[in-house]
Chain A
Amino acid sequence: MYSEKVMDHFQNPRNVGEIENASGVGTVGNAKCGDIMRMYLDIDENHVIREARFKTFGCGAAVATSSMATELVTGLTVEEALKVTNKAVMEALDGLPPVKVHCSLLAEEAIHAALWDYAEKNHLKIEGLERPKTDISEHEEEEEW
């Protein structure tokens, strides 16, 4: 059901854990639909992400997308990190099953939420960053016959 990359990131998730006194922390999703992601970012004075860590309650895809997202944003500037989309996360994982696309949306939103927290703490305005949605859900589509 999952690609080899997804399975690899699920079995050996990168950057699991917390960062003490993180520059920004964002939590998205809700337990009701079974996914919660928390992203910790350590950002230096040049607005470059030195380290990213995560904790996730969720399925295999949720863990793998969080893990991949932390890898993708590490070393990027805040502005660059903002451009890491759910599509980029999915592509880096060699795709996700259609029912798991919302997991990648959650990963994108977790990055935004952590950046938002960073911006608020430092009274910064980051171009293009909007208040994150805490709840990512999508409507189930009826299959056509």
Chain B
Amino acid sequence: MKNLIYLDHAATTSTLPEVVDAMLPYFSAHYGNPSSVYDFAQQSKHAVQQTRTTIANALGCPDKDIYFTAGGTEADNWAIKETAHAYRSKGNHIITTKIEHHAVLHTCEYLEKNGFEVTYLDVNEDGIVTPESLEKAMRPDTILVSIMFANNEIGTIQPIKELGEIAHKHGALFHTDAVQAFCQVPINVKEMNIDMLSASGHKLGGPKGIGFLYIRTGIKIGPLIHGGAQERRRRAGTENVPGIVGLGKAVEISLATMEERAKKESELRDYMMDRILAEIPFTRINGSRKHRLPNNINFSFQFIEGESLLIMLDMEGICASSGSACTSGSLDPSHVLLAIGLPHEIAHGSLRLTLGNENTKEEIDFVIEQLKKIVGRLREMSPLYEDYMKKGNK
């Protein structure tokens, strides 16, 4: 079998061995329910509390502001739906952007069907939400602004602090989906004017099925999930103790290595982007080169289609993803690539590579060579390339 080259860390990451080790005792030795009164269960309760402290320290907030969820999607649903319900008497207008994850977009669409008004902000060609565009969209009845910290497809990092400030100036709450950014770039909720923040465990070396929502003290949103007194009566259901323990360990490790990883990954990222741009013609980089996650690379190769590219990479043992329609189950390509102004056919030919700590320069060199070959082969097969070359030669 070929060696696997995994370049899809924005989809998920492998659970770190130290994380698995930390989790294991909580399946067997310490299986007690944190809500039980007997002494045996106290270890579970303590472990949950410990992760809460680790995350709170990472974000610069009190422990009690962290609430565990089943992942980033639940956290997004919770923040948006329950803010809408709790603050309805104040207004029914919500502002978000055209490049959000579907966990935010579909939740907003659901609220639109239930009487709320939602503004979807445009982004510039780099995928940035400008403070001016938010300022213009704010209204007296705006109760919530939800803007992702960094984009999952093109890696663009938003000016969160400025955007949060504008939301607050107009009396609205500010939520950010930080699933891709948490433990990749420094975040301080207080300094950055963040009222609510969603994150997930499996993007940073933790297990799947665990995440959290930060809710600033004083924000009066109720629970999304009803049925018990867990998480200060705000998120019912027996805690996923092994998951929470794993999340805590993953955050601890990721924070400790963040600076070093960011340096290494951004160097690899820039190396690859520069080489591909120089060596494969008719290629563009999607997203901002300056305000970008250290591990995100996103290309569009003109005249070819993304799914074909992914299958050919897969045959070489390379795992990647694309914004092509064929990978999304619909006929439309990525809403993010359309929002930054790409025409459909160029959006279809996009490729996302997201680096992790284990990726090496040798792997990147191999991928570059494969890409040159595969893109060339698909272009030879493409009627769009044929038309372009014939027109060009005339």
Contacts and interface: CB of A to CB of B under 8 A. Distances in A.
A16 B377 CA distance: 11
B106 to A, nearest CB: 14
A34 B345 CA distance: 6
A36 interface: yes
Interface stretch (B13-21, B144-152, B286-294, B324-332): B324-332
B386 A10 contact: no
B382 interface: yes
- Most chain B CB within a 10 A radius of its CB, from A18, A37, A55: A55
Given A55-B386, A57-B305, A99 B344 contact: no
B245 interface: no
A56 B381 contact: yes
Nearest to B332: A33
Contacts of B386: 18, 38, 55
Interface string B279-306: 0000000000000000000000001110
B307 interface: yes
Contact of B331 (A55, A61, A140): A140
Given A10-B311, A57-B305, A59-B307, 7 more contacts: A34-B331, A34-B348, A35-B305, A56-B383, A57-B385, A60-B311, A100-B326
A60 B384 contact: no
Contacts of A36: 383-384
Contacts of B304: 57
A32 interface: yes
Interface in A70-111: 99-100
- If over half of A's interface residues share one DSSP class (helix, strand or loop), that class is named, otherwise mixed; here it is mixed
B37 interface: no
A60 to B, nearest CB: 5
29 contacts: A10-B311, A13-B381, A31-B344, A33-B331, A34-B324, A34-B325, A34-B344, A34-B345, A35-B305, A36-B383, A38-B383, A55-B383, A56-B382, A56-B383, A57-B305, A57-B345, A57-B381, A57-B383, A57-B384, A57-B385, A58-B305, A58-B308, A58-B326, A59-B324, A59-B326, A61-B326, A62-B305, A62-B308, A63-B308
B330 A10 contact: no
Given A58-B305, A60-B308, A34 B326 contact: yes
Contacts, number: 74
Contact of B381 (A16, A33, A34, A137): A16
B93 to A, nearest CB: 28
A90 to B, nearest CB: 17
A65 interface: no
A11 B381 CA distance: 12
Nearest to A60: B311
Given A10-B311, A59-B308, A31 B330 contact: no
A32 B308 contact: no
Contacts of A10: 308, 311
Contacts of B380: 16
Contacts of A100: 326
Interface in B312-330: 315, 324-326, 329-330
State the 5 A-B residue pairs at the shortest beta-carbon distance, nearest first: A31-B345, A59-B307, A59-B326, A38-B383, A34-B348
Given A10-B311, A140-B330, A32 B345 contact: yes
A23 interface: no
Interface in A29-70: 31-38, 55-63
A7 B304 CA distance: 18
A60 B313 CA distance: 12
A37 B381 CA distance: 10
Contacts of A11: 315
A13 B348 CA distance: 21
Interface in A10-25: 10-11, 13, 16, 18
A57 B381 CA distance: 7
B234 to A, nearest CB: 29
